Structure 1
Amino acid sequence: MTLQRPTTKILATMGPASDSPHRIRALLQAGATAFRMNFSHGSHEEHKVRFDALRAVAKEMGRHVPIVSDLQGPKLRVGCLDGGQLTLRYGDLVEAKLGERAGAGIIPIPHQEMFDALKTGDVIMLDDGNLRLSVAEEGKDRIVFKVEVPGLLTDKKGVNVPGRRLPIPAMTAKDERDLEFALREDTDYVALSFVQTAEDVLAAKRIIDGRAKVISKIEKPQAMEEIEAIADASDALMVARGDLGVELPLEEVPMAQRRIIRAARTRGKPVIVATQMLQSMVDAPTPTRAEASDTAAAVMLGADAVMLSAESAVGRHPEAAVAIMSRIIRAASLAEDYQADMSRAAGKPTADSPGSAVALSAAFAAEATHCKAIVASTNTGGTAYTIARLRPAAPILALTPEPKTARQTALAWGVIPVLTDEQPDFEGLSHAAVEAAKGTLSLDEDDRIVLLAGMPTRRTGGTNTLKLIRIGDGA
């Protein structure tokens, strides 16, 4: 069966270039599936306007559009420099002091944890890896660095400490305020930055209490050491290649990306590949060939979504970036070896629960009988995620009475959410499945669909029933 629909989704970051209603509408028409609110920038008032505009446009267009609220996390930054900038020259010794501000020629760093952790010979990276310093003299509130990679340092630039696990919580006081706001606005996903352990994820989940799904952003080497446990604890993963590429040697980032994707896919959890996918389109009207290949590679590995950051938030060509990314996804999805590549990336599927056994049977039945769709009846989204894990050739319809579940499943690979009324019995559910398939796809009377559901309904994790249905038979 040839794939004729978008499979990998597009997560676009909202910002000044993309937050007006007409821009949101244009991005959705160009192929965007979900939107990211970046809480590293902007006020709650600005984000409130974006939430409201996005929900209004989605309702107008009849679309189920998930919102990902991306928390800033404990990002280490330098303070405010005297004069706003400092030129670092190769081989120079430069002093750093604890605090938000310092005198001329001194780097202020307002993080005691850094001073406690750094030892002579350690390396830090500044400004996303553009500057590199090594510790020449350690201290509790004063460190002397030697400049290894020179350049201009300005206020509030990020600091990375490769190879050191700093004793800092995954959520700051700012994150807690932002999280409270995002949950009040009924966000669908919360993205946690700088996750280091599974406990970081579980602590956030205790606060969220089921009100949103949790995406763990993998951007530190320490997270790679615990990737299996973090994947178990999370609802989804994000390959955050920006900071990960600073803290890991560059040559290790592609292998880390493959490992993160595999960890999510084997568990049937969505995985997003992010950072610099089409970076040149912040200014240029077209991406580089390398960027196109990078995006296609993420698709061929079976990523559920690829993310646009500055390209859609502040770029000059947000709609073009989405449209071109959509074309790359479609072309990669139609490649002759697409299904084989994804199967190799995920490994052999296993039936480790009754629900996954039914999902595996549904995928096999759909392929064997040339079904036009797999309809997953779901209240929480679990059944849709389970079938999406198998990356079947047939479209996946997530049939749900829950608006939030419809939005959340829209981020998963190949899933088309369909909102329906609560069905009291299997006969009603079968009829709803046929109507959903007819309303979403172009089907003939002799076409078949496969329905998987849990009976009785409203029982979480209870998928136990599979039915092949001929469209002309109605149910």
Structure 2
Amino acid sequence: MTHIVATVGPACSSREVLGDLLKAGVDVFRFTASKTPVAELASLAEEVRGLAGDVGLPVELVLDLPGAKLRLTNEAYLDLADVSELVLRFDDSPSDLTGPVPSLGVSGLGPGDPCPQVGDLVVIGDGEDALRIVGQTAGSCRAVPLTTGVVGIRRGISFPGARDAGGAQEFTPYDLAGLRAMTGSPFDAVVLSFTESADLVERARAVLRESVREGPLPSVVAKIETAAGAAAADEIARSADGILLGRGDLLLDTGPVEFHAACCRVLDAARAIGCPVLVGTQLLTSLAVGWLPHRSELATVSELLADGVAGLMLAEETAGATDPVRAVTLLTGLRDRYAPTTVRTPLFPSHP
């Protein structure tokens, strides 16, 4: 069975929309901890669990920990169409979007980590927008936008020479606290971002064993989103309870030419040993701006369904789109056509 995973965000945080998503076919809700405290997400997850019980539908709840990643600190959207120049400050300071030259703070830069250089390209999010560095001072850079999109809240960034987010393979204090907070939470599984080894999965499981004194352990899902993670997909698949193929950061790390090969390595490794694999990032995002989805999206999603992937994860399609139910309804229709099933099975069975 291919499960439909919906990411919870501003567009679908009301009881009414969450209920509509359940009825439209959502099997799993993903709660991202990159922008919202874990305790707040756990409270919302409890509400979703109760809502699913009210409508008589099964649901699984997943907490996605952010890992180490450079992120903007803006708490409001920034329309680049109105910006000719902006400042990036790498000191974790708040962003200031007022005035003729907006200032965007960047969090996650460690001591000694390099800032971008003049001429470097800074990519925002999953590649939706880009900036060119035109000036540099101590701890900050001036940049000009190369695109005219709208920068979302606390989006990730990448640039040449940036610290490898997955390289250290150490839990951030925030992620470690999130793992420990799984105790007594409603979440069925936890996602580890930037997984590049089986060791990270085992260390996460050890933290969970220390924290969860009674009852089943939550499942551990390894998000593979770097070239190193794809190269180690065999060992990761043998250790994890599931794999989330994070295509957004993976493309940024591999580049466009090697991207498809990396995706195939992950899918093949998971399929070889029967490890459930979920695929996410930009499955049906064209619905946000158009009535019909892009033909390439339809082809990719239909092929993944026919191949029997364990789950397809909607992100912006449900978290930020104007009509999240529409994307789920289409995905359910595609599933009924290309991966029909009469038995609804759990994605993450309980672990003793």
The 5 Å alignment of 1:317-356 reads: 317-333=323-339
The 5 Å alignment of 1:195-344 reads: 195-209=195-209, 211-333=217-339
Q: Distance in 2 between matches of 1:78 and 1:58?
A: 34
Farther-moved stretch of structure 1 (169-178 vs 206-215) = 169-178
Q: Deviations over 1:214-246 (max 9, x none)?
A: 111111222123222222221111111111122
The 5 Å alignment of 1:55-66 reads: 55-66=49-60
Return closer, same or farther for 1:279/1:107 CA change in 2, 3 Å cut-off. Answer: closer
Q: Deviations over 1:101-139 (max 9, x none)?
A: 4998987655454844679899663312322558999x9
CA contact (8 A) 2:194 2:226 kept: yes
Q: Distance in 2 between matches of 1:107 and 1:173?
A: 24
**Corresponding position of 1:100:** 92
Unaligned runs of 5+ in 1: 1-6, 335-393, 399-405, 411-457, 461-475
Aligned amino acid, residue 122 of structure 2: M
1:188 shift after superposition: 0.6
CA contact (8 A) 2:21 2:328 kept: yes
1:331 shift after superposition: 1.9
- What SS does the aligned partner of 2:220 have? strand
Q: Deviations over 1:354-406 (max 9, x none)?
A: xxxxxxxxxxxxxxxxxxxxxxxxxxxxxxxxxxxxxxxx86676xxxxxxx5
CA contact (8 A) 2:121 2:159 kept: yes
**Corresponding position of 1:159:** 157
Q: Deviations over 1:303-344 (max 9, x none)?
A: 11101112222322222211110111222237xxxxxxxxxx
- What SS does the aligned partner of 2:181 have? helix
Q: Distance in 1 between matches of 2:291 and 2:143?
A: 40
Aligned amino acid, residue 332 of structure 2: S
Q: Distance in 2 between matches of 1:185 and 1:313?
A: 22
Instruction: Establish whether residue 408 from structure 1 lines up as the match of residue 348 from structure 2.
Output: yes
1:99 shift after superposition: 1.9
Q: Distance in 2 between matches of 1:105 and 1:55?
A: 41
Q: Deviations over 1:277-312 (max 9, x none)?
A: 111223545423222222112213321110111222
**Corresponding position of 1:37:** 31
CA contact (8 A) 1:215 1:237 kept: yes
Return closer, same or farther for 1:396/1:168 CA change in 2, 3 Å cut-off. Answer: same
Return closer, same or farther for 1:62/1:247 CA change in 2, 3 Å cut-off. Answer: same
- What SS does the aligned partner of 2:335 have? helix
Return closer, same or farther for 1:326/1:52 CA change in 2, 3 Å cut-off. Answer: same
Q: Distance in 2 between matches of 1:122 and 1:228?
A: 38
Q: Distance in 1 between matches of 2:69 and 2:182?
A: 19
1:60 shift after superposition: 2.9
Aligned amino acid, residue 18 of structure 1: C
* Higher relative contact order, structure no. (Cα contacts within 8 Å, ≥ 6 residues apart): 2
Return closer, same or farther for 1:78/1:15 CA change in 2, 3 Å cut-off. Answer: closer
Farther-moved stretch of structure 1 (170-179 vs 101-110) = 101-110
Q: Deviations over 1:157-180 (max 9, x none)?
A: 422256764554443222233333
Return closer, same or farther for 1:206/1:135 CA change in 2, 3 Å cut-off. Answer: farther
The 5 Å alignment of 1:114-193 reads: 115-116=112-113, 125-128=122-125, 129=127, 130-131=129-130, 156-161=154-159, 165=164, 168-193=168-193
**Corresponding position of 1:390:** none
Q: Distance in 2 between matches of 1:329 and 1:71?
A: 28
Instruction: Establish whether residue 12 from structure 1 lines up as the match of residue 6 from structure 2.
Output: yes
Q: Distance in 2 between matches of 1:214 and 1:308?
A: 20
- For residue 54 of structure 1, the aligned residue among 36, 44, 48 is 48
Return closer, same or farther for 1:232/1:145 CA change in 2, 3 Å cut-off. Answer: farther
Q: Distance in 2 between matches of 1:124 and 1:273?
A: 28
Percent identity (aligned): 25
**Corresponding position of 2:213:** none
Larger Rg: 1
1:182 shift after superposition: 3.9
CA contact (8 A) 1:8 1:329 kept: yes
Q: Distance in 1 between matches of 2:54 and 2:150?
A: 46
CA contact (8 A) 1:95 1:142 kept: no
Return closer, same or farther for 1:18/1:147 CA change in 2, 3 Å cut-off. Answer: closer
CA contact (8 A) 2:69 2:108 kept: no
Unaligned runs of 5+ in 2: 210-215
Return closer, same or farther for 1:49/1:145 CA change in 2, 3 Å cut-off. Answer: closer
Return closer, same or farther for 1:62/1:134 CA change in 2, 3 Å cut-off. Answer: same
1:262 shift after superposition: 1.4
Return closer, same or farther for 1:106/1:283 CA change in 2, 3 Å cut-off. Answer: closer
CA contact (8 A) 1:231 1:237 kept: yes
TM-score by length of 1: 0.59
Return closer, same or farther for 1:214/1:291 CA change in 2, 3 Å cut-off. Answer: same
Q: Distance in 1 between matches of 2:268 and 2:237?
A: 10
**Pairwise CA RMSD of aligned residues?**
4.0
1:76 shift after superposition: 0.7
